[in-house]
Amino acid sequence: MAIRNISSNNLRFFSIPHSACSTFLFSHFFSNTTPFFSPPHLSSSLLFSTPKHPFASSSTFRSNIHNGHAHFHTRMSFCTYTPYWGRPHATSEQFYQIIALIREDVDELGSKLNSMNVSLSDASVVDIFQILASEKVSALQFFDFLKGSDPELCCDPDIGSLFINNCGLLGNYEAMVPVLSGFSHRRVFLGMKAFGFLLDLGLDKASSMECVRKVMAVFNKVGGMYQSCGVQLLIEMFGLSGSFEIAEFVIRTAGRKVKHYHVLMRILCKSGDCKRVSDLVKEMKRSGCDMDVSTYNLLLSCLCKNGKIDEAWQLLEAMEKNYGLTNAHSFDILINFLCKRRQFDSVLKLLDKMFLKGIEPSILTHAAIIKSYFESGKYEEAHEYVIGSANRLSYSSNANYGLLATLQLKNGNVLLACKVLSEMMDKGLKPNFSVYKKIRKHLEKKDEKDLSLELLRRYSSLVEK
């Protein structure tokens, strides 16, 4: 809970529920009998202002400080309720009484809850929302009460999600708009927890589509991040739950954008569903989507994951010849797959093709090749590969040499690791400091102090340049 009082001497400011006669109440407590409307002398640095809060109630309260005295301009009224933050937590019996009042959907729920003169812990609020959701009882009045009593809690994404979920279960889409707008203003995006009702309702296909239309209409009304990210959220939610037809319906309703297809394709790739990924690519072609290299890379990745190496090769060739769409990532996907299968001849063939096209493998791809050689016991081939990449002026030469030295050290070959560092320094490449320190430490443990000092001298000369 947020602190809701600012004190100077005995003066305190706090907020209470809107239903409790007035939004703001000032009280002044003195050890003597000083009248209420005779405020003490205040420093001019003390300033009172209404909190700027997306869920706070409106107020006409203003104040200024003149000649060291606070002047209040507000309509004052007195109330018998204790401020919400000062009330004791509800007992178990009172907790269920509150739920009973909400179930009954009584008029002026806020006043009745205030008359109980208790507060609710954050955990109790969550429990109430969950009970209301399980019973499909509206939480609208309860949330209105919280907005006046504890506006900070209403800004909590978990509480907001529980309220939106409750609205969805009851079909109250209009009530979602102001709450989501408040979160959008604060740049807070509520995730699947808020819209899980679309799955929990267990609707048939037609009814699910109708609910999806209404949620997307809400996103459009709210605008901002909900309009831009809401569609992706729905695709992910339905895709991860296996409701692919509804996910595709969301994509079509949102205008068949390539980025939305990619969201579903990534989910399908992780599950290894090549057929659906391939079908989506065909659908994108039929609908005239401007597919990019990422579209084909996702399909390529899915084929490799499923061990369909021949189809992956054919796709890569088609990407080059028919679409002119290949990048470093296209080759990296296939190279990484071939490394796992220890098909080094095919790896080298692809590397040559990349070199002719002027495409540099990523650092991760270089690392995958070097590690695969080492894991296969092909230490010389790993060394030759590192030398070859350095001769091609690879931007990752430092990383490649550093990895080779580290792998030699892990194999217990400290002298070979030292030799690798010396070789890279001959080429004017500075070793990674942590790798250099580890190798020096191991040399000293083996009483190779001369080699350690020589390594220090050469490294220092590179650093000084």
Residue 418 sits in a domain whose CATH number is 1.25.40
Q: Reply yes or no on whether the pLDDT at 36 is more than 90.
A: no
Measured distance CA(315)–CA(310) in Å, rounded: 9
What is the H or E stretch that residue 224 is in?
A: helix 224-240
Domain boundary among 324, 354, 384: 354
Evaluate whether residue 16 is within a structural domain: no
373 and 438 share one domain: yes
309 and 278 share one domain: yes
Measured distance CA(371)–CA(392) in Å, rounded: 20
Evaluate whether residue 150 is within a structural domain: no
Q: Reply yes or no on whether the pLDDT at 199 is more than 90.
A: yes
338 and 412 share one domain: no
> What is the per-residue burial (b if ≥16 Cβ within 10 Å, else e) of 416-453?
bbbebbebbbeeebebbeebbebbbebbeeeebeebbe
In this structure, the strands spanning 6-8 and 24-28 are: unpaired
pLDDT in the model for residue 83: 82
Evaluate whether residue 7 is within a structural domain: no
Measured distance CA(61)–CA(24) in Å, rounded: 8
Q: Average pLDDT, stretch 290-314?
A: 91
343 and 407 share one domain: no
Q: How many domains does the chain have?
A: 2
pLDDT in the model for residue 15: 36
Evaluate whether residue 199 is within a structural domain: no
Quick check: 22 and 50 in contact, CB under 8 A?
no
Quick check: 198 and 205 in contact, CB under 8 A?
no
Domain boundary among 334, 354, 374: 354
pLDDT in the model for residue 25: 35
Q: What is the dihedral of CA 34, 38, 41, 44, to 10 degrees?
A: 150
318 and 380 share one domain: no
Phi (first) and psi of residue 266, to 5 degrees: -65, -40
% of residues, the chain, pLDDT over 70: 82
Evaluate whether residue 265 is within a structural domain: yes
Q: Reply yes or no on whether the pLDDT at 363 is more than 50.
A: yes
Residue by residue, DSSP assigns 302-323 as HHHHTT-HHHHHHHHHHIIIII
pLDDT in the model for residue 49: 35
Q: Reply yes or no on whether the pLDDT at 30 is more than 70.
A: no
Evaluate whether residue 308 is within a structural domain: yes
Evaluate whether residue 301 is within a structural domain: yes
Residue 302's contacts (CB-CB under 8 Å, 6 or more residues apart) are 265, 268, 269, 272, 273, 274, 277
347 and 418 share one domain: no
Quick check: 263 and 239 in contact, CB under 8 A?
yes
Q: 302 in the Ramachandran plot: left (φ > 0), alpha (ψ -120 to 50) or beta? A: alpha
Evaluate whether residue 99 is within a structural domain: no
What is the maximum alpha-carbon separation in the chain?
95
pLDDT in the model for residue 465: 64
Q: Reply yes or no on whether the pLDDT at 89 is more than 90.
A: yes
What is the H or E stretch that residue 24 is in?
A: strand 24-28
Domain boundary among 325, 354, 383: 354
260 and 344 share one domain: yes
318 and 398 share one domain: no
The strand pairing partners of 28, in sequence order, are 11
pLDDT in the model for residue 355: 87
Q: Average pLDDT, stretch 222-245?
A: 94
pLDDT in the model for residue 85: 81
Measured distance CA(64)–CA(376) in Å, rounded: 79
**What is the rounded average pLDDT for all residues in the chain?**
83
Give the angle 160-166-170 at the CA atoms, nearest 5°.
145
Phi (first) and psi of residue 225, to 5 degrees: -65, -25
The secondary structure of residue 89, as a DSSP letter, is: B
343 and 426 share one domain: no
User: Which pairs count as long-range contacts for 202-209, CB under 8 Å and 24+ apart, including other chains?
Assistant: 205/245, 205/246, 208/243, 208/246, 209/246, 209/249
* 64-86 confidence digits (pLDDT tens): 444 444 444 443 444 455 788 88
Token pair of 15 as six digits: 């907020």
Give first-to-last CA distance, the chain, whole Å.
57
Measured distance CA(422)–CA(420) in Å, rounded: 5
Q: Reply yes or no on whether the pLDDT at 12 is more than 50.
A: no
Residue by residue, DSSP assigns 381-402 as HHHHHHHHHHHTT-TTHHHHHH
268 and 349 share one domain: yes
Q: Residue 39's pLDDT band (boundaries 50, 70, 90)?
A: very low
Q: Reply yes or no on whether the pLDDT at 95 is more than 80.
A: yes
432 and 347 share one domain: no
Domain span at residue 408? 361-464
Q: Average pLDDT, stretch 251-277?
A: 94
350 and 375 share one domain: no
What is the H or E stretch that residue 229 is in?
A: helix 224-240
